[in-house]
Amino acid sequence: MPKKIRIIVADDHRMVRKSIIEYLRKENDIDVIGEAVDGKETCDEARKLNPDVIVMDISMPRVNGIDATRDLLKLFPDIKVIAFSMYSDKRIIKKALAAGASGFVPKDSPIETLIDAIHTVMQGKLFLTLEIQDMLDSDRTEIMEMNSEDTILSEKEKMMLNYLSEKCTVDEISDRMNIEIGDLRNKIVHLMNKLEIKSLGELIEYAQWEKITV
């Protein structure tokens, strides 16, 4: 009998997570061996269970899915990660792939798409839906370049994003971080340039999606 594909499903929404698990367990060649509710728990479960594939929600508390993917693949490069998100934003997709994800599946996709993605990445191939392929106008080389040191956030940058996700004002962030307002504004502009974000509103949305923690 062929070896089953060992899967961990990571999503902080219980209903979504349990539904995915229920559908995947109907597949004869898939074995769901674990589940997780945040990025840290995903890393812990992967260390214990040694999965073949992780279905990874991008937006989770404590450690977000992109950071968890990057951290996991440094230790376990053979694990295949399928990024799973309700956001099909081009920038988010590229960040997930730059972190090392082997595929990206929007949450509004049919379950058959996720199953197809699992089989595809197990063959060592990149999985992207046709819609995402059309959206991405750059090649894999450009995606991997996004994973350079310039895109790695410092602890202070993560702290700024954390406060922004809590909808703190610039004055409040300045007080909490003990940084002059002028210096803080410069740091925010630098961070926006690093993340290729054009407005403060978009930066706040990014922080809320990623649930950045220090």
In order of start, what are the domains of the chain with their CATH numbers? 5-145 (3.40.50.2300), 153-210 (1.10.10.10)
Give tens-digit pLDDT for 60-98. 888 889 999 999 998 898 999 999 998 777 888 888 888
Determine the Cα–Cα distance for residues 164 and 208; give it in Å rounded to an integer: 8
The answer to whether the beta carbons of residues 98 and 144 sit under 8 Å apart is yes
Give tens-digit pLDDT for 157-211. 888 988 988 888 888 999 999 988 888 888 888 888 877 787 888 788 778 776 5
Q: Which two tokens stand for residue 116?
A: 């197809």
- The amino acid present at 176, given as its one-letter code, is R
Say whether 33 sits in a helix, a strand or coil.
strand
Give kind and range of the element (H or E) at residue 201: helix 200-210
Q: Which of 20, 63, 27, 58 is nearest to 45 (CA)?
A: 63
Distances (CA, A) of 210 to 31, 64, 91: 29, 6, 12
Q: Which two tokens stand for residue 77?
A: 């490069």
The answer to whether the beta carbons of residues 8 and 36 sit under 8 Å apart is yes
Give tens-digit pLDDT for 114-156. 999 999 999 999 999 988 888 776 544 455 455 444 456 788 8
Radius of gyration of the chain (CA): 18
Backbone angles phi, psi at 103, to 5 degrees: -170, 165
